[in-house]
Amino acid sequence: MTPMQASQDALKICQLAPIVPVLVVDDAKDAGPLAKALVAGGLPALEVTLRTPAALEAIAEMAKVQGGVVGAGTLLTPQDVVNAKEAGATFGVSPGATDMLLDACEDADLPLLPGAATASEAMRLLERGYSVLKFFPAEASGGAPALKGIGAPIPQIRFCPTGGVSMKNANDYLSLPNVVCAGGSWVAPKNLVTAGDWGGIEALAREAAALPR
């Protein structure tokens, strides 16, 4: 897969909804009901972070949910890419980007949303052929004003800001011309997942899906 194709595929996924849920799944038994609730609420693109032992099994369970598009977040190594693809992930997300990781995703035909926090990082990825990036960590890197500033000289790059994005500030990002969607964890809070309150999560997803962009 070429970087250009990867970015085209990533753009299609990012355009599915204004928010991509960023999910930390501790127990794989929650994965199916969680995915169903988020998809029913209008958020079909799901990022499962590889931060827990249950993550790969969770991806496999979510991949079975009709209407869902499941990806693996926190890709750091080529082995992460192999494991995510085998589990059923159809896209990947990384906090940053290394040549080794980019090579692995291209070899595995896994569309990647690589992370960038500065103009130089964004330019380097654009030079390689990636035009759809993750802006991370968004709030810690200056938030919407910083992303607006990067967009002025590099308008050909589209971003999915993640990291500190919430219902309160999502509009600040989504109103920017260089933002295609945003990633956030607030739509699946740990207390609701633990309680099995899938109706509550669906309601949060529905609210997020209605955000203008």
Residue type, 62: M
Cα–Cα distance measured from residue 203 to residue 194, given in angstroms and rounded to the nearest whole number: 16
Among residues 85, 106, 134, 202, the one annotated as catalytic is: 134
Among residues 47, 61, 106, 202, the one annotated as catalytic is: 47
Active site annotation includes 47: yes
Cα–Cα distance measured from residue 176 to residue 139, given in angstroms and rounded to the nearest whole number: 15
**Beta strands across the sheet bearing 158-161:** 115-116, 132-135, 158-161
Cα–Cα distance measured from residue 170 to residue 166, given in angstroms and rounded to the nearest whole number: 6
Q: CB neighbours (10 Å) of residue 164?
A: 15
3-state class (DSSP) for residue 2: coil
Helix boundaries (H) for the chain: 3-14, 31-40, 55-62, 78-87, 99-107, 119-128, 143-151, 170-174, 190-195, 198-209
Cite the active site residues: 47, 134
